[in-house]
Structure 1
Amino acid sequence: MQKVLLIDDDGKLAEALGEYCVRFDIQIEPALTPSSGLNKLSRDQYDAVILDVMLPEMNGFEVCKRIRQESDIPIIMLTARGDVTDRIVGLEIGADDYLPKPFDPRELVARLQVNINRHARLAKSTIVPADTELYFDGLSLNLLKREVVVGGSAVELTTMEFSLLQLLSESPGTAFSRDQILSVLKGTENELFSRSVDILVSRLRAKLKPLLPIRTLHGAGYAFVLPVAEPPGPPAT
Structure 2
Amino acid sequence: MKNGKKILIVEDDSAIAEIERDYLEIDGFGVELVDNGTDGIVRGSSGEFDLILLDVMLPGADGFAVCRKLRETMDIPILMVTARQEDIDKIRGLGLGADDYIVKPFSPGELVARVKSNLAQYERLRSRSAMPADGELKVGQIAIRPQSRRVYVRGEELTLKNKEYELLLFMLEHADMVLSKETLYEKIWGYDAIGDSATVAVHINRLREKIEDNPGDPKVIQTVWGAGYRFKA
Tell me the CA shift for residue 65 of structure 1: 2.4
Q: Does 1:27 align with 2:30?
A: yes
User: Which entry has the higher C-alpha Rg, 1 or 2?
Assistant: 1
Q: Do the aligned partners of residues 62 and 173 (structure 1) sit closer, same or farther apart at CA in structure 2, a change above 3 Å counting?
A: same
Residues 125 and 163 in structure 1, CA contact (< 8 A), matched pair in contact too: no
Q: Do the aligned partners of residues 152 and 66 (structure 1) sit closer, same or farther apart at CA in structure 2, a change above 3 Å counting?
A: farther
Q: Does 1:133 align with 2:162?
A: no
Residue 35 of structure 1 aligns with an amino acid whose one-letter code is: T
- Aligned residue in 1 for 2:221: 214
Residue 216 of structure 1 aligns with an amino acid whose one-letter code is: T
Q: Does 1:225 align with 2:228?
A: no
Residue 164 (structure 2) aligned to one of 155, 161, 166: 161
Tell me the CA shift for residue 4 of structure 1: 0.5
Q: For 1:1-237, what aligned pairs fall within 5 Å after superposition?
A: 1-125=4-128, 132-135=135-138, 138-189=141-192, 191=194, 193-208=196-211, 210=213, 213-225=220-232
Residues 100 and 199 in structure 2, CA contact (< 8 A), matched pair in contact too: no
Residues 82 and 99 in structure 1, CA contact (< 8 A), matched pair in contact too: no
- The unaligned stretches of length 5 or more in structure 1 are 227-237
Tell me the CA shift for residue 188 of structure 1: 4.1
* 1:55-105, Cα deviation, whole Å (9 max, x unpaired): 123221222223333333222222123334323332333323333334443
Residues 140 and 148 in structure 1, CA contact (< 8 A), matched pair in contact too: yes
Q: Do the aligned partners of residues 164 and 106 (structure 1) sit closer, same or farther apart at CA in structure 2, a change above 3 Å counting?
A: closer
How many angstroms apart in 2 are the aligned matches of 1:33 and 1:209? 38
Percentage of matched positions with identical amino acids: 35
RMSD, aligned CA: 3.0
Residues 90 and 198 in structure 2, CA contact (< 8 A), matched pair in contact too: no
